[in-house]
A and B are shown apart, each in its own frame.
Chain A
Amino acid sequence: MKWLASMSLGGAVLALFAAITSLAIGWTYLGTKAQIELAVRRAEAQQLMEIFPRDTHDNELVDDTFVLEAETPLLGLRAERQGYRVRKDQRVVGVILPATARDGYSGDIRALIGVRSDGSIAGVRVVAHKETPGLGDKVDLRKSRWILGFNERSLGNPAISEWTVSKDGGAFDQFTGATVTPRAVTLATRRALEYAELHRADLFEIPGDNP
């Protein structure tokens, strides 16, 4: 039974190393968790200002939030997230909605979508993705200006049937070598607009419901 002994020994050593390495990772995870959350939030705050620059509002965007439940229809969120209200002179002039596209090429694509009170897009930014570098990552503004093509668009512009990439007969270009990623982002943007339309009174605090 020599083989059994050597196998058990090997197994035991492997298990031991699995335990040690898992402990090391777990310890680092716990140690960096708070800092990572802070870093992600700071990056998000910076992107909010890109969508609605300083002169469009007079409130602190990061503090003026509302809760969006996980699994909110049309937004695709996996966990509870925050939306942001953009105010000027006490009126809500726009909202920034988080949206998650689950049909990216590799994993979720998380985006922020800024919608003005007239239903037009102020800006779309991808905040987290795992798309192929050099191909799909052109949805990121640092790599390409593609995402700016959504600015000023709305649900009627283009018509709803054209709210997709041009390969599917839509109005938005895909990039060479990557269709899945831009399609996912375009459709997520469209769904977010539909969400904003559906919850218009609530999101923009249309007078009548409010004191």
Chain B
Amino acid sequence: MSHPSYSQLTLNGLWKNNPALVQLLGLCPLLAVTASTVNALGLATATLFVLIVSNTAVSLIRNVVSDTIRLPVFVMIIAAAVTITELLMQAFSYELYQILGIFLPLITTNCIILGRADAFARKNPLPAALYDGLIMGLGFGLVLLLLGAIRELLGTGALFADMQLLFGPEAEQWRWQIFAVDYPFLVAILPPGAFLVTGCLIALKNYIDLSLQRGAHAEAELKEVGSKRVRVTGTVS
């Protein structure tokens, strides 16, 4: 594997190989906590932090740890990073910690983290691994935020409610009622809404990709590049 450039990494993490929309990794927390923007932001930040720490640590030890024991070592690093994040969040944002509940410790089992550690960080030098962690975390986080915002808007007609859980008392004013709802569109907030909105987002992304491709070379045939797993919505390189 040659070392990809930073612009490639950026494009990969945010769009082409987006962990949430293309690789479909970490779906469980993605679907469960995105009922509001503040929850999504909390989990996105926690995941981003863990991803950066684990990518950094894994890249640093990549020449020390042999192949046979690499996975247990990675898991240990990830679990430690998650536990530390959990303690910090408990200390500084206790209410959000309570809302995220089980999904905070479950970051340990988020496949994005182990996936990036094993597929990228252990083969790449520190700066690239760190950057990959940042970008992949952002790619995941942005989708979380988008989902959270769409579902909150559909379900309650407002955006950015309860932001004081993350940003202190002043943020209580940030709540932005866009339209008044007498009967909230409950399904958007319930788990089925998460599936529906995620599905629409994936479809939208694929549609944009397709039209870009059509525009580029008018009638060129779509070629499948790279390997294709069963549960992905595009090609994973």
Binding site for B on A (CB under 8 A): 6, 9-10, 13-14, 17-18, 21-22, 24-25, 28-29, 32, 35-36, 39-40, 42-43, 106, 128, 130, 132-134, 137, 142
B79→A21 contact, CB < 8 A: yes
Q: Are B76 and A17 in contact (CB under 8 A)?
A: yes
Interface residues of B in 62-80 (CB under 8 A from A): 64-66, 68-69, 72-73, 76-77, 79-80
Min distance, Cβ A54 to any Cβ of chain B, angstroms: 19
Q: A24-B80, A106-B102, A133-B33 are in contact. List 9 more A-B contacts (CB 8 A).
A: A9-B66, A14-B72, A24-B84, A28-B84, A43-B95, A130-B101, A134-B32, A134-B190, A142-B99
Contacts of B174 in A (CB 8 A): none
The contact sample of 11 A-B pairs, CB cut-off 8 A, is A6-B66, A6-B68, A13-B66, A25-B83, A25-B87, A32-B87, A36-B90, A39-B90, A39-B94, A128-B98, A142-B99
Task: Closest B residue to A9 by CB, please name it.
Answer: B66
User: Is B222 an interface position by the 8 A CB rule?
Assistant: no
Known A14-B73, A130-B101, A133-B103; judge A35-B91 contact (CB<8 A).
yes
Contacting residues of chain B (25-43) with chain A, CB-CB under 8 angstroms = 32-33
A133 near B32 with CB under 8 A, answer: yes
Interface residues of B (CB under 8 A from A): 32-33, 64-66, 68-69, 72-73, 76-77, 79-80, 83-84, 87-88, 90-92, 94-95, 98-99, 101-103, 190-191
Q: Contact at B92–A13, with CB atoms within 8 Å?
A: no
Residues of B near A28 (CB, < 8 A) are 83-84, 87-88
A181 to B: closest C-beta gap in Å:
13
Q: Are A134 and B191 closer than 8 Å at their CB atoms?
A: yes
